[in-house]
Structure 1
């Protein structure tokens, strides 16, 4: 068996799917979505086709090593997202050819299901209580929301009053809450906000600072008992290494479509386990990305909770199940996602719908925000 074809598909709302086919007709699907940069990731597939058409698709580790190291320049969101989607598709192809789930080939299950959380609100959320109750009615017991809209460099604690009120509204609806700072908060305010939120008993605060500020993150971790979560903008085990060593993180959030794929994220989870750090994979993306996350959740003992994008505010024009033949494969039950039992990634994609969507490719971009003085603000 040899790799015969590697295809990519732009599908709404902002995803990039990957389809790999062998010369004898075996097929696998993956997701290389990098929000706002689909064209760049798609461009990286030219090199992957040059290197891997004709390669044995079962030699996944060998392919990953060549894909990562073989081009001399390595790492970063674009190259690692392309490699991630390709690698996911190879696990899907191999699993379907052997009639085994990917998790079975990675050591077998340590759990039958994983707790899931959903998003409520948007970048400027309102009516949080009602949104939290709606998620509760869907069976969720945990939600995540953005902490703030744009913030300046300095301010006084009273600007946090609405943040605290929204968290309390969600908690009043019976929800455990994770709060995403989204890298919007600079160090002078992040320290104050982390302390102000501490009495609320949050699941975590996510990206209280951008990950390029590890020294500031370590300081904030020492200021608050609230768990610090980060990792969506880290792309390999080498990127995570200094955060483990500095004790700057309690929960890591590698993205299976940004951080090299299933096996790389399994290795990152193993590193985290050695530092007694939990794993909560980042996944505001599509069904293949979520299915890949569930393969890691199946076999990594320190996966604690899984993000999913069902009904997220980014999903305009398509939602989590749009391209799935059977939505029950990724449907939460009483706040938990079952580990997929099917071969490969365990999700069946409707190829006809994908190909039709690709005829009008999306060009999704995140918004650009500005402060009151006209200067750039982090989104």
Structure 2
């Protein structure tokens, strides 16, 4: 009996060891105490020009100032030989980004809190009651999105899954996308619309302000694309007043080609009086009204005020998915915004947009035709107003080192 018990215990120990090794990535955590450690992080600063004709007309400033603002590209190395890449937003300090990179050196990627990859310890319980518990995984350092991208890229490659799987799983295999233009004359706008139609887009987004010939510009789009070719009109708060916004809407409503007005008047930190103005405009406009928001708390504020029909959301991949989920619960469609970025960052947008069930409006993946180069070897493709969701491991793109070297400004 003792020998039978011993053999049974040995069999159970073998099965237990097999399952441990199976679910700890081939037992690697057991053999060396960690799974995949960051050994080095490269940081490069780049400035990639834009095609001038793709953005502004000469009458409205010509070459945009924002295109001269640097970005950082990062590449994480690991002891597994796997690398992950990321991209910051415009205008970050190279020194600050490099300092943030030092915080992650030596960290085990597979043990990170993916809601904030810089967090090194669990959230702490409160001393007395659940109300006192720590609930915010922040803070997030400068350039955080780049590090999040690189970490997710590493984990995706290590597990042989695309990043959208790590974010909750893609709800669709393609994401809607529109063409994009800057401040352009009506004639220039008409030519841009012809290009958009030729490339298979079904709508475009325009930057603008009330001082420009807005009615003529919107009509120029209608003359090429008709009422079915939709516009997102985004003045970045430069329609200034409710009265001017409603007056313009009345001038162009017969064209029926405006899908949404985005941020028509100053948001002023979403003060109650401003949200009341947005709520009033929402009731008066002949088409939907949107706000461009970054954080989940602002989304909640806008929803409670009944101030929006749609939302343009941004932020890190994880925080975009969180904010979109809040909007979904309120029945509000969203799209993913951008800052005329490069390929790595826009690829991260695509993964996040694919995860949100309510991301059904045309998202902004515009750097692929406004920038001279996107710095990745696998560019975006568009067909009939959609771009396919990547299915290869990680972000599904690799850094173009030759292009990177060409556009570096930190040599």
TM bucket (normalised to shorter chain) is: 0.7 to 0.9
CA deviation after TM superposition for structure 1 residue 45, in Å: 2.2
In structure 2, list runs of 5 or more residues that go unmatched.
1-35, 50-66, 124-133
1:61 aligns with 2:114: yes
CA–CA distance in structure 2, aligned partners of residues 196 and 80 of structure 1: 45
1:5-49 deviations in Å (ceiling 9; x for gaps): 233322213543222222333211122123xx233xx34425523
CA deviation after TM superposition for structure 1 residue 250, in Å: 2.1
Q: Which residue in the other structure is 2:400 paired with?
A: 350
1:252 aligns with 2:281: no
1:4 aligns with 2:56: no
Q: Which residue in the other structure is 2:329 paired with?
A: 274
Distance 1:288 1:265, change over 3 A: same
Equivalences for 1:137-152 in 2 at 5 Å? 137-148=198-209, 150=211
1:243 aligns with 2:302: yes
In structure 1, list runs of 5 or more residues that go unmatched.
152-158, 362-379
Q: Which runs of 4+ in 1 moved over 4 A?
A: 72-75, 310-313
The higher-RCO structure (CA 8 Å, 6+ apart) is: 1
Distance 1:281 1:38, change over 3 A: same
TM-score if structure 2 supplies the norm length?
Answer: 0.72
CA–CA distance in structure 2, aligned partners of residues 86 and 148 of structure 1: 35
CA deviation after TM superposition for structure 1 residue 338, in Å: 0.5
CA–CA distance in structure 2, aligned partners of residues 3 and 180 of structure 1: 41
Equivalences for 1:355-370 in 2 at 5 Å? 355-359=405-409
Contact 1:132-1:175 within 8 A present in 2 as well: no
Equivalences for 1:13-92 in 2 at 5 Å? 13=49, 14=67, 15-34=71-90, 37-39=91-93, 42-58=94-110, 59-61=112-114, 63-64=116-117, 66=119, 82-92=143-153
CA deviation after TM superposition for structure 1 residue 289, in Å: 1.8
Equivalences for 1:197-236 in 2 at 5 Å? 197-201=252-256, 202-212=258-268, 213=270, 214-215=274-275, 216-231=277-292, 234-236=293-295
CA deviation after TM superposition for structure 1 residue 130, in Å: 2.4
TM-score if structure 1 supplies the norm length?
Answer: 0.77
How many residue pairs match? The answer is 332
Contact 2:179-2:203 within 8 A present in 1 as well: yes
Q: Which residue of the other structure, out of 348, 362, 382, is the alignment partner of 1:332?
A: 382
Contact 1:129-1:173 within 8 A present in 2 as well: no
Contact 1:181-1:208 within 8 A present in 2 as well: yes
Q: Which residue in the other structure is 2:365 paired with?
A: 308
Q: Which residue in the other structure is 1:374 paired with?
A: none
Q: Which residue in the other structure is 1:371 paired with?
A: none
Local SS of the residue matching 1:33: coil
Equivalences for 1:107-146 in 2 at 5 Å? 107-120=168-181, 122-124=183-185, 126-146=187-207
Contact 2:177-2:387 within 8 A present in 1 as well: yes
CA deviation after TM superposition for structure 1 residue 300, in Å: 1.4
CA deviation after TM superposition for structure 1 residue 107, in Å: 2.8
